[in-house]
Amino acid sequence: MKSLRKSLFILPILCLFLLLINFSVYAVSDIEKEIAKQNVEKYKEKFGLAELSTTEEKRINNIFDRLTVKAHPDAIDLNFKLYVIDAPVLNAAYMGDGHMMVFKGLLDQVENDNQLAAIIAHEIGHGVNDDIQDSINIIQGIQLGGALVDLITKDSENRDSSNLIANISMILLKKGFDRGQEKEADYYSVFLTKKAGYDPHGTIGVMKLLKRKSGGSSDSELAELFSDHPNLDNRIEYLTALVTEVENAQKLYYSPVATASRLAQGILAANNSLIYSTYTESIQDAISLESFSTNSQINRVIKKIKVLKTDSSFSYDMELRNQVDGTARVAINYLSDAEIISLAIDLMKTEYGWRVVREPRLYKSR
Ligand SMILES: [Zn+2]
């Protein structure tokens, strides 16, 4: 009875503590900072930091700097730091608060800088995507509702914040990231490596390397970290498709006029998927092709052009009206003896090349 009363007293305090942590998530939370620190310490103590030659140090610092400069706008609150851990393991891990570890084994085995950049970019991706904080929130939810509350409240001597952090920290290391989080970090790594001037094929190369070499580790603790990189076949397939898509898009949409030209042809052929492929959403998937097909503005334009097309003098031309700082406007003029239909096309430079940002607007009709 006495211990039940104790538990009832402790629970509101625990809840308050968790609430306070959750209210500070506008930046990296204190709990994430503490967990990152503890987990980095854990690996530093166990294996030590690798002693790098001047050349090795220069190489890794250079790659790290080039990537973090480009990643900074996506995660201004993160304190990016890289540790090279002295273990002959082919792995890397994200610890939270911008801290990441690359094991010396991986550093020694990568075939080129593009692969090393891909690894670091992937770990940065976990940071940009707030994956540690998301996991902390989930674990806290489970703790509040489930068995871990019992565990914490039963341990009457040690139920303060450090106990809670140690518990979460342990679960995080055991659990790793889920498939969705891995996929998003892979996705980010393709664009970050590209932005920093590396060949994004490195992301595929490193997965193939992991596949060829994995399976040799007998140390259970290190094998555990491999759970950060499951499904290598799926990931190779996904990354190959993504890198190809990005490269094709860039070939097709290398200039505002090239993109507008595809849009113009799509309207002419009443080909919705061709039109849709010129839009930013077509790759980023903010809207689906299916929902796009019912777009009333596009359908109205297609109908008008269909009528013009029956005129034997029908043709179309394009003018680049304006292009500043990654944005552009192109006018498409569909002409016939009877009528001119002019469309204003607004474009934006993205990782995929120049893309249409909204429906064409009719601005002149005769
Ligand atoms: Zn990962």
pLDDT band at 152 (very low <50, low <70, confident <90, very high): very low
The strand pairing partners of 320, in sequence order, are 330
Angle at 67 (CA atoms; ends 66, 68), nearest 5 degrees: 100
What are the residue boundaries of the structural domains of the chain, listed by start?
Answer: 2-249, 254-365
Q: In angstroms, what is the span from residue 178 Cα to ligand 1's centroid?
A: 9
How far does the centroid of ligand 1 lie from the alpha carbon of residue 198, in Å?
19
Characterize 177-210 residue by residue with b for buried, 16 or more Cβ atoms within 10 angstroms of its Cβ, and e for exposed: beeebbbbbbbbbbbbbbbbebbbbbbbbbbbbb
> Please, which pLDDT band fits residue 234 given cuts at 50, 70 and 90?
confident
Please state, in angstroms and as integers, the Cα–Cα distance from residue 25 to each residue in 39, 73, 137, following that order.
20, 18, 10
* Residue with the larger pLDDT of the pair 173 and 66: 66
Reported confidence tier of residue 337, pLDDT bands at 50, 70, 90: confident
Class of domain 254-365: alpha beta
Centroid of ligand 1 to alpha carbon of 131 (angstroms): 10
**pLDDT of 226:** 47
- In the reported structure, the alpha carbon of residue 177 is separated from the centroid of ligand 1 by a whole-number distance in angstroms of 7
Distance, in Å, from the CA atom of 121 to the CA atom of 82, rounded to the nearest integer, reads 12
Whether residue 287 is predicted with pLDDT greater than 90 in this model: the reply is no
Query: Which distant-in-sequence residues (6+ apart) come within 8 Å of 189 by Cβ?
Result: 118, 121, 122, 124, 125, 200, 203
Q: How far is the CA of 234 from the centre of ligand 1 (A)?
A: 14
The residues, ordered by sequence, that sit 6+ positions from 39 with a Cβ below 8 Å of its Cβ are: 95, 96, 169, 172, 173
In the predicted model, what is the mean pLDDT of residues 30-38?
90
C-alpha of residue 122 to centroid of ligand 1, in Å: 6
The Å distance, Cα 57 to ligand 1 centre, comes to: 23
Q: How many angstroms separate the alpha carbon of residue 354 from the centre of ligand 1?
A: 30
CA of 228 relative to ligand 1 center, distance in Å = 5
| φ, ψ (nearest 5 deg) of residue 294 | -95, 10
**For residue 225, how far is its CA from the centre of ligand 1 (angstroms)?**
10
CA 239 to ligand 1 centroid distance, Å: 14
Centre of ligand 1 from the C-alpha of residue 229, in Å: 6
Residue 38 has pLDDT above 70, yes or no: yes
pLDDT at 15: 47
Rg (CA), the chain: 27
Encoded tokens for 113: 């800088």
Query: How many whole angstroms from 119 Cα to the centroid of ligand 1?
Result: 9
Beta-carbon count within 10 A of 315 CB = 10
CA 36, CA 143: separation in Å to the nearest integer?
A: 20
Report the alpha-carbon distance of residue 193 to residue 181 in Å, rounded.
18
How far from 37 is each of 41, 96, 156, 191, 358, CA to CA, in Å?
Answer: 6, 8, 26, 28, 45
Ligand 1 centre from 357 Cα, in Å?
32
What pLDDT, on a 0 to 100 scale, did the predictor assign at position 145? Answer: 57
- Residue 216: pLDDT above 90? no
Backbone angles phi, psi at 35, to 5 degrees: -65, -45
Q: Give the model's pLDDT for residue 153.
A: 47
What percent of the chain is predicted at pLDDT more than 90? 53
Its pTM stands at: 0.76
* Cα–ligand 1 centroid distance for 207 (angstroms): 11
Residue 21 has pLDDT above 50, yes or no: no
**Joined tokens for residue 352:** 């995929």
Q: From ligand 1's centre to the CA of 257, what distance in Å?
A: 38
358 or 285, which is more confident? Answer: 358
Compute the distance from residue 180 Cα to the ligand 1 centre, in Å: 10
- Rounded to the nearest angstrom, the distance between the alpha carbon of 65 and the centre of ligand 1 is 20
Does the pLDDT of residue 158 top 80, yes or no? Answer: no
Distance 126 CA to ligand 1 centre (A): 7
Q: What distance in Å separates the CA atoms of residue 319 and residue 339, rounded to the nearest whole number?
A: 18
Instruction: Quote the strand ranges of the chain, DSSP E.
Output: 81-85, 92-96, 99-103, 315-324, 327-335, 340-350, 353-356, 361-365
CA 123 to ligand 1 center in whole angstroms: 6
Mean pLDDT value across the chain: 83
Compute how many other C-beta atoms are within 10 angstroms of the C-beta atom of residue 238: 19
Ligand 1 centroid, distance to 125 Cα (angstroms)? 8
Residue 268 to residue 306: CA distance in whole angstroms: 7
What spacing in Å lies between the alpha carbon of 247 and ligand 1's midpoint? 24
> Residues 196, 353, 268, CA angle at the centre, nearest 5°?
175
Rounded Cα distance between 69 and 331, Å, is 36
Ligand 1 center from residue 30 Cα (angstroms): 22
Please give the distance, rounded to the nearest whole angstrom, from the Cα atom of residue 174 to the centre of ligand 1.
14
Task: Calculate mean pLDDT across residues 114-138.
Answer: 92
Write the burial class of residue 112 (CB in 10 Å: 0-12 exposed, 13-18 middle, 19+ buried): middle
Instruction: Convert 166-188 into a string of H (helix), E (strand) and C (coil).
Output: HHHHHHHHHHCCCHHHHHHHHHH
